[in-house]
Structure 1
Amino acid sequence: MEGLARLRRRVAAYAAHDDPLTSAANWIALVVAWNQPFYPLYLWAAVGADKIAPSFLTFMSTPIFLAVPAVAKRHALAARVLLPLTGIANGIVSTKAFGVGSGAEIFLVPCALIGAALFRPSERAIGLVVVALSAVAHSIPLRFFGEPLAGYTAADNSAMVGLNALSAATLIVFIGLLLSGAMPAPDQRGDQVPRRK
């Protein structure tokens, strides 16, 4: 138990930032990175073990998500931009890997939400660019993606659409709760690590 408490404190210290929006971005990035290794297991349950290999391509983005809090310590705005751009790139890679029938492009919706919510009025142009890039990525012609990297059936696609929709909806709810203050980040609670000076 002490080991878990120590790990929790270290993660909270890593994600901590004086700027609440940047702190939120850090936690979103870490939650996404934490969940990525479980995606092949969910996919295994949905479509079978022989069709999960393409999911390992999504791990290319894991180190970048993990790096968002480190970037934030040097440049908060850059970290808040890096988060949705990494998500957009991951959405494109996922759509190529699993095919347009998988519903993987639904992960572009949380990216657009981040663009709309994580930038101040003075940064509104940057946020609108992120929203626009999410829309452009969603509008990439289907022929660009070609065939998926595994032989997914219509039943597989239906299962993946359900899985991806649930995952994206969960992420959207997490972002909403975090930004509304209904679920403060651990570094925003009085019993957690103090804010950096």
Structure 2
Amino acid sequence: MLASAWTKMAGAIGRLSSHPDGRTALANTVALVILSNQPFYPLYLRWAVSPVIWPSFLTFLSTPLFLAAPLLARRSALLGRGVMLAAGIGNTLLCIAAFGAASGVAVFLFPCLILSMLLFMPERRGLALGFAALCFAILLAPIEQFIEPLHHYTADEYAAFQRLNLLSAASLTALIGWVFARERAKSPRDA
């Protein structure tokens, strides 16, 4: 019975992430992976950083956007990809505001930069460069001068925060590369 339920759920997730356009399938897969990991983020923080996890609940504001991206992609592949990337950039900006720059959470802008190029180049060069420019603007902005973190962690906790975010962003970047390579292998080779 339980195996049947898992099989049905896996099938539903597979159908939701699939799309005839490989770049949209990539965006859908990334959105669903992030969506599935969001509920565990407070637990990761509790385990790796600090028992003070309440600022992480702010990250759930982006959850509906990550869920909406694959659904919107059914109507418009371009819209679905754009919403997924906007959700990623917005969630990162929200986390920078919640935790502060010292948390190292801005490292999640690097997978967003990569996605900017993979999801929109070469046909939608303006969108790719616009999303990339937004990522760079956030990286360069002195956000900590304008927004106070919701909680100040200790220096050791911030070091642990940076390790956690670096590992998470690196894992997400590797996943993006793996899914892109898988989708690329399905499509005809360029001449």
Tell me if both proteins adopt one fold, taking TM over 0.5 as the criterion.
yes
Note if 1:31 corresponds to 2:1: no
Distance in 2, Cα, partners of 1:157 & 1:168? 16
Distance in 2, Cα, partners of 1:108 & 1:154? 23
Distance in 2, Cα, partners of 1:35 & 1:67? 16
Note if 1:106 corresponds to 2:107: yes
State the shift of 1:93 in Å: 0.8
Q: Which amino acid aligns with 1:163?
A: L
1:31-180 map, 5 Å: 31-49=33-51, 51-141=52-142, 142-146=144-148, 148-180=149-181
Q: Percent identity?
A: 40
Q: Is the 8 Å Cα contact of residues 98 and 150 (structure 2) preserved in structure 1?
A: yes
Aligned partner of 2:20 among 7, 18, 21: 18
Helix, strand or coil at the partner of 2:151: coil
Aligned twin of 2:9? 7
State the shift of 1:39 in Å: 0.7
State the shift of 1:140 in Å: 1.5
Q: Is the 8 Å Cα contact of residues 22 and 183 (structure 2) preserved in structure 1?
A: no
Helix, strand or coil at the partner of 2:20: coil
Question: Is there any run of 5+ residues in structure 1 with no aligned partner, and where?
Answer: 189-197
Distance in 1, Cα, partners of 2:77 & 2:7? 27
Distance in 1, Cα, partners of 2:135 & 2:104? 15
Distance in 1, Cα, partners of 2:49 & 2:178? 31
Aligned residues: 183
Distance in 1, Cα, partners of 2:58 & 2:168? 17
Q: Is the 8 Å Cα contact of residues 107 and 168 (structure 1) preserved in structure 2?
A: yes
Distance in 2, Cα, partners of 1:76 & 1:66? 14
Summarize deviations over 1:50-89 as a string: whole Å, max 9, x none.
Answer: x100000001101110111110001100111111111111
TM-score, normalised by the number of residues in structure 2: 0.91
TM-score, normalised by the number of residues in structure 1: 0.89
Q: Is the 8 Å Cα contact of residues 15 and 23 (structure 1) preserved in structure 2?
A: yes
Question: Is there any run of 5+ residues in structure 2 with no aligned partner, and where?
Answer: 187-191
